[in-house]
């Protein structure tokens, strides 16, 4: 697939188990993240994304659109969680 959003994500996101959850900052110094594919911003601020998919470590975030676009290609599974 030739898509501008694809770079090296397969090296660290292929066949990962993801969680669908509300975004929470990692710390006071780390108050936002970006979608690993399109770069859209996750934060608690108005106008930013507030929910999406994340790897179990909470380090990598994927917006809903990119998740839907790449879920088959990346063989993701989604773990059921409570928000």
Q: For 6-28, how does the pLDDT look when each residue is reduced to its tens digit (9 = 90+)?
A: 999 999 999 999 999 999 988 88
Surface-to-core class of residue 55, CB atoms within 10 Å of its CB (0-12 exposed, 13-18 middle, 19+ buried): middle
pLDDT digits (tens, 9 = 90+) for 26-82: 888 889 999 999 999 999 999 999 999 998 888 899 999 999 999 999 999 999 765
- Token pair for 3: 């898509």
Query: β-pairing, 33-34 with 17-22?
Result: unpaired
């Amino acid at each position: 697939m030739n898509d501008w959003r694809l770079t090296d994500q397969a090296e660290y996101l292929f066949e990962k188990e993801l969680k669908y959850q509300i975004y929470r900052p990692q710390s006071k110094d780390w108050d936002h993240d970006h979608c690993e594919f399109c770069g859209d911003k996750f934060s608690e601020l108005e106008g930013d994304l507030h929910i999406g998919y994340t790897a179990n470590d909470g380090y990598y975030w994927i917006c809903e659109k990119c998740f839907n676009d790449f879920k088959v290609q990346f063989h993701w599974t989604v773990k059921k969680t409570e928000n």
